[in-house]
Amino acid sequence: MASEWVIGVIGGSGLYDIDGLEDAEWIPVASPWGQPSDHLRIGRIAGVKFVFLPRHGRGHPLSPSGINARANIDILKRAGCTDIISLSAIGSLREELAPGRFVVVDQFVDRTFAREKSFFGNGMVAHVSVAEPVCPRLSTMLGEAGRRAGVDVHQGGTYLVMEGPQFSTRAESLLYRQWGCDVIGMTAMPEAKLAREAELPYALIGMVTDYDCWRDGEDHVDVDTVIAQLRANGDTAKRLVVEFAQALPPVREASPIDTVLDVALMTAPDKRDPQLMARLDAITARVLSAR
């Protein structure tokens, strides 16, 4: 079914606000999954409603492992988002993906271990496919918007998501290259998996800040290096969002991701945990109302 676009934007390190939003205001939204990273910044760009959330909170108080991704995705769903784009800082595992380049990611390897990774569990079991974890429509539009914004965009790449907060050892960095990974970061998982469970098409464009530590003769990655590159990339990323908004089709055609829960719910109605179902009210509202 065709509808209007409502674009959720999750801003990573260095992106704590978004330019170009008209009639924008910060609005608190509560979640039954706990405390989200921050209030939502809601406004319009080119007539399209945008809902911005700084992933680490304004001023960056949250570490990667401390981000409540379930609450973040839940409040974006409650705010009426139809789609999510993520802007993230990443390290490069490939010579050609130099600092300053942007990468539209299309695959992930999830190596995190200290995070809640699903809205579902005992009392309401569901299994969604994340074989293709990003939305190809959004990813294509993000890449095109980046090029119009003057960004050197690489379309496609595998993102290794590590737990952090420490950066990689050299042995780890070399191993991830052998696995075929292209970039590395600490925040895209479980965010992308949770977006899929929430029936929200998701795409990520990463801003390369460093070469991790695999490269001979390269200084080890440090926060000063990352921050300097983020400052260089920040304004460009904001222009990218404006270009993305201006090029959106006037009507949002339905995506297959909009209905993934139709074939994912496993638990029989009489075996469902009422407390868990109450927390799932926003996530499962469409599929349960249709039954």
Residues identified as active-site = 210, 212
Determine which helix (DSSP H) or strand (DSSP E) holds 158, and give its type and residue range: strand 158-161
Partner residues linked to 273 by β-bridges: none
| CA–CA dist 31, 14 (Å, integer) | 25
| CA–CA dist 34, 278 (Å, integer) | 14
Q: Before 256, cis peptide (omega within 30)? A: no
Asked if 50 and 266 count as a contact pair (C-beta separation under 8 A), the reply is no
Partner residues linked to 7 by β-bridges: 50, 83
Asked if 46 and 249 count as a contact pair (C-beta separation under 8 A), the reply is no
Strands 40-45 and 22-27: antiparallel
